[in-house]
Chain A
Amino acid sequence: MAGRFFPAALMARRNLTRTKMRSLLASLGIVIGVVAIASLGMFGVALQYSFTQNLGNVGNQLTVYPNSGENITELTERDIRTIRREASPTATVSPVKTRTEPVSYNREDAVREQIYGVEDPAALYEAKEGRVSPFRSGALVGSNVAEEHDLHPGSQITVNGTSVRIRAVLEEGDPFSSTNPDNRIIMPATSFSQRGYSEVYVIESTGTRANETAMGIRDALNDREERVFVQELGSLVDTIEEQFQIINTVLAGIASISLLVAGISILNVMLMSTVERREEIGVLRAVGYQKRDVLKVMLMEATLLGFLGGIAGVILSVGAGLAINHYAVGDAMAVFRLPNAWYVGAAFTFGVLTAIVSGLYPAWKAASEEPVDALRG
């Protein structure tokens, strides 16, 4: 029998059932607080998760640009050789040339568009329609360009007055990747008259390698002057994830306000109950309960309220998490991931702690009442 081993719990439980409605309402506050913290936390996690999903695999990419701040407008063949040397043997290194040309689609007026010159587009892109390689003439277009102008393999566009045949429409790329081809027109690098390159893409097998390569390139090329600017998407991702962390913390902070309210309602309930039970507590003290014994019984009540509300809150939170993940991530089971467990656990702990802290003052008040005064009636 639980009452045998936890006699304080027995008394506490009986006292709570004495005023069932009131106890229920008091722990309802904790339920709401726990659910608010847990589900806002899980909402943040789901948001972050779906973002990383969209972001795809960009952590292993880096892009080298000439540093226009130092009046360097293009990268030379020597720079490219250095970059190839710094990159690991398995890495894909794609130097890209750019130029701006008047382009007209379907015999409309020409607009000035950026043309990208890529030597081996097959290393970067896959075709949605048509074929990427061999690529000696013609042009590849991204999916947005193709859709906007209704282009397909075999369609013709006019670049700087010359008719160019579309070879392929490219598969969509990661939205945050600098290699993303969706809005681009790509032509063979051999069709470019200038010698220099305007950017170089390096794709490594892992994010760590990408980071090492980035440092190697900086060391090699920025030795005397800042020749290049190396953009690592990995660190960008880190920055964004940090932002999400901040958002999550703020959300959880807002949710804890509801726990504060819950704490006040428990404080109120416990204060009422110490006033109502003043004489009973006086009797306990008279028959030999030490102050700390009374404290124990009262705190046990607060703790029980907290546990009750906390457990109900956890159950409801998992339900809410299933729904959140179903809609935000498209996979309800994603709720059983570690960061969610962390938020639910933290919410539960805060709920119980709030209840106990709120019970401290009433319990202390009850314990420090002189039994003679309490029993005078």
Chain B
Amino acid sequence: MTVIDAQGLVKRYRTGGQTLYALAGIDFALEAGEFVSIMGPSGSGKTTLLNILGLLDTPTEGTVLLEGQDVTGLGDSKRTALRKRTIGFVFQHFYLLPTLTAVENVEVPLLLDSDPKVTKRARRLLERLGLGDRLDHKPDELSGGQKQRVAIARSLINSPKVVLADEPTGNLDSETGRQILDEFRRIADEDDVAIVAVTHDDLVNEYVDRTVHLVDGTIGRERKNGR
């Protein structure tokens, strides 16, 4: 089943009389349970694409279908509600809230709903990611890999259809990176969650189903993994 189907995406920025094409016509479809990596040089439009797929940003041209629904023209409030329901983000710099414990950080997306089951679910997610003994630690008491795992748990708390990760292994050593990638693979296979990871790290490509190469806002050659 196709979770996201983006057609003819164009993102234009006008700066000081110049027009810059961050994305210059991109088609991108994502199946449930698929793990896709996006690679490309700096400034090629990776983050821009991820933001548009995650309903954080809107394309200048083109359409985005989320589970068959056209979400291109939606306003901020509707997009925000959809993000909350269907999308999980893992940010490059983790962006955990320093004042909250690991469990509370995982709860954050659903914190305002006052649902008593959320805390239990957050604990289970952290335990599954091997952080059962770090539940009540603040981010500054956690290592980089542990923080990243908390961030992954947070992206999963709302049972998303899609997880979008920007450089998820960027700050990690290869050992910790592998743990994280194993985790993504498992989430994709077991929970049928589609995962898009922007990366510069070739390690990632050992785990993904396919890799999309971006060059100057267009899709370059695509490589299917023989998995």
Contacts and interface: CB of A to CB of B under 8 A. Distances in A.
Interface of A: 4-5, 7-8, 10-11, 14-15, 17-18, 279-280, 282-291, 293, 296, 371-372, 375-377
B84 interface: yes
A291 B77 contact: yes
A11 B99 contact: yes
Given A287-B83, A372-B51, A11 B111 contact: yes
B62 interface: no
A5 B99 contact: no
Interface centre among B54, B91, B116 (most CB of A within 10 A): B91
Contacts of B116: 4
Interface residues of B, number: 30
Given A8-B112, A14-B100, A285-B80, 4 more contacts: A5-B114, A282-B95, A289-B80, A290-B77
Contacts of B80: 285, 288-291
Contact of A7 (B81, B114, B158): B114
Contact of A4 (B56, B83, B114): B114
B100 A11 contact: yes
A376 B43 CA distance: 12
B109 interface: yes
Determine the main DSSP class of A at the interface with B: helix
B189 interface: no
19 contacts: A4-B114, A5-B114, A10-B104, A11-B99, A11-B111, A14-B100, A280-B95, A280-B97, A286-B56, A286-B89, A287-B108, A287-B154, A288-B80, A288-B83, A288-B109, A289-B109, A296-B112, A372-B51, A375-B56
B111 A7 contact: yes
A290 B109 CA distance: 11
A287 B56 CA distance: 10
A8 B113 CA distance: 10
Contact of A371 (B56, B97, B108): B56
A18 B158 contact: no
A289 B116 CA distance: 18
User: Which 6 A-B pairs rank lowest in CB-CB distance, beginning with the nearest?
Assistant: A288-B84, A14-B99, A287-B109, A7-B111, A283-B95, A372-B57
B143 to A, nearest CB: 20
B139 to A, nearest CB: 11
Contacts of A376: 47
B76 A291 contact: yes
A372 B56 contact: yes
User: Which of B54, B95, B158: most chain A Cβ within 10 A?
Assistant: B95
A279 B95 contact: yes
A18 B51 CA distance: 30
A15 B97 CA distance: 9
Nearest to B107: A7
B73 interface: no
B98 interface: yes
B111 to A, nearest CB: 4
Contacts of B99: 11, 14-15, 17-18
Interface string B119-155: 0000000000000000000000000000000000010
B87 to A, nearest CB: 8
Contact of A293 (B51, B85, B97, B112): B112
B158 to A, nearest CB: 7
Interface string B173-202: 000000000000000000000000000000
Nearest to B111: A7
A284 B84 CA distance: 10
